[in-house]
Chains A and B, each alone.
Chain A
């Protein structure tokens, strides 16, 4: 294992975050705070409690998940796409590193950034609403698992994309709508039966449900199913990354 290489890629990516602190951390925290003010305080004060949880607190896990998913994908996608775009990827591809080490460096850094961001948003939320975490170990587990899985997904997008438009396409057109429709701001039990069934095809439902369970002990779907779906997506992403490096897709000719 080329530990120095993993460390070099990881530090390089983390340093990029330091340079773009406003975009990487301040911007998502600000937008999440606005969600709390609008949905949590202004609208939430007129909403009934859901499963015994005030609406303001109920949306906390969903908002963290929303930021976690989009930031994991964006960070990892940009991290690998930018060197491809400017051509500096030649150095990584000619270095004595395996695809596992390259992935660990890039995805590890992207996941770290997302986890830190998620924790900052959690801390920020306590300024607006009282938040309890019933199962802190599971909460951290879901946070890490989701950050890693979606950073892997972003890494795949960053390799697949051949332009900035494509880089933004999946996070904006697929992930954000799925997150909004995945129960970030409501319990899927509040939906009519037909739409509840449709929603169960949305993988984000399982992430948010599991994560919310770790906070309040209530969930839309079974916790084991949530965990299983997240792990299944993780395995699918790992297989895709393995195939990319095996074939050199978009990386080598």
Chain B
């Protein structure tokens, strides 16, 4: 099946020699939510800007639903909606006027019913005649989303969409994202709230110093790079890990009251854990409680960034 977005060997070197992207390739399927993660300055916004036509790439090829973004830019751009990171709005325009303007700009015929639906979905309907300058930051963010949705895009870029917005609005936005995905819209988001990416994304891409160092299904990523940590609370403190358990790589918690066992989840096998408990019994160690923790996407992200 043809990818809805195909990025092939894209590089970008800015004037002055700064290399923002190095040979980035990526295919996205229709209807998926893709989270692009990376530290500030990694190249996330540059990649989005190139796809949307705001920055010229130095090398490579990008197609949206098979339409080359340079040779066939009209067809490609009609399919794309962009919510930029910064709150760039026309302060003196009304909400209705600015959203209607966006629809026209993207070549769509006037459709008041659709604009009304978008504004209602984003809880903006009662603000439709308000000037944007009178709105709060969160409401301005909603306006930007409404503008991006005004021309019914099939690919939506959300560049840090929840930066600086309150919890309620953030939840509203993720509800909207779910609804858009259900409607077949492909969503590419960058976020600093990794728990959001963990909750929402189907696939995760990690970009570091302009290189896409990893693209994985989220669940596969969690399995591959995630770790579980088992804490065994002992009935009696130990001074050191018994030699019989040395092969398990156990760590003794401060105070000797617990043993800590960290293990990967690569194949989902529980054999190592059962072997550990067998050896614990053999060593005659009694325990009173167990506690497990699993790595979050944030832990994985931090580990990946440390691995540079």
Decide whether A and B assemble into one complex: yes
Q: Which residues of A contact B (CB under 8 A)?
A: 2, 4-5, 7-9, 11-12, 15-16, 19, 83, 86-88, 90-98, 248, 252-253
Chain A-chain B contacts (Cβ-Cβ < 8 Å), number:
81
A2 adjacent to B90 (CB under 8 Å): no
B105 adjacent to A5 (CB under 8 Å): yes
A96 adjacent to B78 (CB under 8 Å): yes
B3 to chain A, nearest CB (A): 20
A134 to chain B, nearest CB (A): 42
Contact A94 B104, CB 8 Å, known A86-B88, A253-B14: no
Complex formed: what's the CA distance from A83 to B101 in Å?
14
Q: Taking CB as reference atom, which chain A residue is nearest B87?
A: A87
B138 interface contact, C-beta 8 A? no
What chain A residues lie within 8 Å of B105 (beta carbons)? 4-5, 8-9, 91-92, 95, 97
Complex formed: what's the CA distance from A56 to B103 in Å?
49
B55 to chain A, nearest CB (A): 5
Segment from B106-114, B182-190, B216-224, B292-300 that makes contact with A? B106-114
Complex formed: what's the CA distance from A8 to B106 in Å?
9
B80 adjacent to A94 (CB under 8 Å): yes
* Most A Cβ at <10 Å: residue of B55, B103, B106: B106
B54 interface contact, C-beta 8 A? yes
Q: Which residues of B contact A (CB under 8 A)?
A: 14-15, 52-56, 73-78, 80, 82, 84, 86, 88-93, 97, 100-109, 147
A94 adjacent to B77 (CB under 8 Å): yes
What chain A residues lie within 8 Å of B14 (beta carbons)? 253
A248 adjacent to B56 (CB under 8 Å): yes
Complex formed: what's the CA distance from A97 to B105 in Å?
8
Complex formed: what's the CA distance from A113 to B31 in Å?
45
Interchain CB contact (< 8 A) of B108 among A4, A9, A83, A97: A4
B199 to chain A, nearest CB (A): 28
Complex formed: what's the CA distance from A12 to B92 in Å?
11
A-B contact pairs, 17 of them (CB 8 A): A5-B105, A8-B100, A8-B101, A8-B103, A8-B104, A12-B97, A12-B101, A19-B92, A86-B88, A86-B89, A86-B90, A90-B82, A94-B82, A96-B75, A97-B107, A98-B74, A253-B55
Contact A91 B147, CB 8 Å, known A5-B104, A96-B77, A248-B56: yes
What chain A residues lie within 8 Å of B103 (beta carbons)? 4, 8
A87 to chain B, nearest CB (A): 4
B102 adjacent to A91 (CB under 8 Å): yes
A15 adjacent to B97 (CB under 8 Å): yes
B56 adjacent to A253 (CB under 8 Å): yes
A24 to chain B, nearest CB (A): 14
* Most A Cβ at <10 Å: residue of B80, B88, B104: B104
B107 adjacent to A94 (CB under 8 Å): no
13 further interface pairs, Cβ-Cβ under 8 Å (given A7-B104, A90-B52, A94-B80) = A2-B74, A2-B107, A8-B103, A11-B104, A16-B92, A19-B92, A88-B89, A90-B88, A93-B54, A95-B106, A96-B74, A96-B76, A98-B74
B143 to chain A, nearest CB (A): 11
